[in-house]
Structure formats: structure tokens, C-alpha cells
């Protein structure tokens, strides 16, 4: 009957109630894992970097071990700068140059000896090559020095000074004093230069040093210079 009344009055029929919608669950915000936070990632990165650096250092030390051992066992001779009076330095004979000239004298004696026997290995301090282990601040030379101290191996060092023979410090009256520091300490006093050239004087200095450090090579060089001298024996 209600339908007939609605038809008579012309009123629209009320819409049927829509069925209840299912409740949509709210979207939950994704949370970042704790290990992906910035402080954690930074800490992990630093730790991994430290591990990698330590592994690299260990590898370098292991690879450098033979070099360190060979350097420590080798009787290398270090030539320190030789003190030179100011009057001679103005001529170009600086402490470093004097050290290099002494090395020239030693090499000349070795060349004159012309022997198959290995001789000393001298190097001026300024020409010494240094190696540093990256990221450590430690040099291979320092490790070699520690190894020498541990095994009681002495490095031979040669230094000295030129001494003036008069107040004017004239080159003809200047003389060279050398100090050899190693297992034993020796002092070599050379005569004044007089009329000798620098090459001749430093050859004499090299010969005197060689007489202390390698007598066989010194004698062989003297025989080459003075053939009338007896030949050196090649025995041990």
C-alpha cells in the first residue's frame, strides 16, 4: 500500500541503503632496519676501512720482510756530510759535495782493484732512498734500524771534517780527518792537500778508508798502481 501512496503522491522512492563497506586496513609505514641507519652505516664503513687498511699494511710488511732482512744483513756504509770551512765552501766544496767526492775516491779504488771479489757498498747520506709504508708513518729505514739493533748488526758510518792549517785556511794546508764508526771506531788523519788536486786527494782518502774496511781491495788497487808490489792472495 505504501507503494501505491508513493505512486499517487509522485514522491521518489528512497534509495536502498548501500551494503556496509569492508573496513580497509590502514597502510602501515615501512620502518628502516636498524642496521641501515646513518650512524650505523658510518660506523660499519669505518670498521671495514680499518680492517682493509690493516690487511694492506700486513701484506706490505710481509712483502717488505725480505727487503728489511736483506738491508739489515748488508753491511752498507753511510757517508755523512763532511764539515768544510767556509773558506773552502765558497769554492764549491760543500759538506755534501765532500761526501760525494769521498765516494768517488772509494769507487776509484774499487775500479783500480779490478777484482771479482765484492767490496763495500758506500752511499752518501743525501743519495739514500727512503721508503714509507702508506697510512702508517713508518719508514722501511726505521724498520731496518730496529732490525739491526735487535740482531746487533752495526751499520758503518763515515764522517769527518776538514781542518785548517793556518789562520787563512789556505787550501794547500787544509787536511782531512775521517771517522769510521761501526763495530770498531777508527780515525784517519790525512796529510795536508798541498799541491794535490781534489781528485787525487780524495782518491788517497778512499784508499785509506779501504785499508780499514776492505784491505784486499786496497792492496789490489795499490798493485795496479805500483806493479812492483807483491800480488794479493786470493785465499780467504
pLDDT tens for each residue of 59-109? 766 766 676 666 655 667 899 999 999 988 988 999 999 999 999 999 999
Give the CA angle between residues 141, 147, 148 to the nearest 5°: 90
Q: Is residue 38 assigned to a domain?
A: no
Give the structural domain span for 102. 47-225
pLDDT of 209 reads 96
- Distances in Å between the Cα of 13 and the Cα atoms of 1, 19, 34 are 13, 18, 60
Q: Is residue 5 assigned to a domain?
A: no
Q: Is residue 151 assigned to a domain?
A: yes
- Those residues of the chain that have pLDDT short of 50 are 234-236
Q: Is residue 100 assigned to a domain?
A: yes
Q: Is residue 8 assigned to a domain?
A: no
Under 8 Å between Cβ of 125 and 79: yes
* Burial class of residue 116 (count of CB atoms within 10 Å of its CB; 0-12, 13-18, 19+): exposed
Q: Is residue 13 assigned to a domain?
A: no
Q: Is residue 236 assigned to a domain?
A: no
pLDDT of 182 reads 85
SS3 20: coil
Residues 6+ apart with CB under 8 A from 109: 203, 206, 207, 210, 217, 218, 221
- Determine the Cα–Cα distance for residues 158 and 95; give it in Å rounded to an integer: 13
Total domains in the chain come to 1
Q: Is residue 170 assigned to a domain?
A: yes
Say what the pTM is.
Answer: 0.63
pLDDT of 52 reads 83
Amino acid at each position: 500500500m505504501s507503494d501505491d501512496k508513493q505512486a499517487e503522491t509522485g514522491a521518489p522512492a528512497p534509495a536502498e541503503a548501500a551494503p556496509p563497506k569492508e573496513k580497509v586496513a590502514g597502510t602501515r609505514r615501512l620502518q628502516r632496519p636498524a642496521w641501515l641507519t646513518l650512524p650505523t652505516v658510518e660506523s660499519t664503513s669505518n670498521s671495514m676501512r680499518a680492517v682493509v687498511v690493516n690487511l694492506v699494511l700486513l701484506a706490505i710488511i710481509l712483502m717488505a720482510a725480505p727487503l728489511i732482512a736483506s738491508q739489515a744483513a748488508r753491511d752498507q756504509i753511510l757517508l755523512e756530510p763532511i764539515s768544510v770551512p767556509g773558506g773552502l765552501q765558497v769554492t764549491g766544496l760543500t759538506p755534501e759535495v765532500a761526501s760525494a767526492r769521498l765516494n768517488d775516491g772509494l769507487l776509484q779504488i774499487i775500479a783500480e782493484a779490478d777484482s771479482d771479489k765484492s767490496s763495500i757498498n758506500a752511499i752518501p747520506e743525501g743519495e739514500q732512498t727512503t721508503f714509507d709504508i702508506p697510512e702508517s708513518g713508518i719508514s722501511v729505514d726505521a724498520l731496518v734500524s730496529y732490525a739491526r739493533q735487535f740482531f746487533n748488526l752495526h751499520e758503518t758510518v763515515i764522517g769527518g771534517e776538514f781542518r785548517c792549517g793556518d789562520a787563512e785556511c789556505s787550501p794547500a794546508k787544509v787536511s782531512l780527518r775521517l771517522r769510521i764508526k761501526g763495530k770498531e771506531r777508527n780515525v784517519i788523519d790525512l796529510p795536508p792537500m798541498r799541491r794535490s788536486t781534489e781528485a787525487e786527494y780524495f782518491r788517497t782518502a778512499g784508499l785509506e778508508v779501504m785499508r780499514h774496511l776492505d784491505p784486499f781491495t786496497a792492496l789490489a788497487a795499490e798493485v795496479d798502481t805500483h806493479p812492483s808490489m807483491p800480488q794479493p792472495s786470493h785465499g780467504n
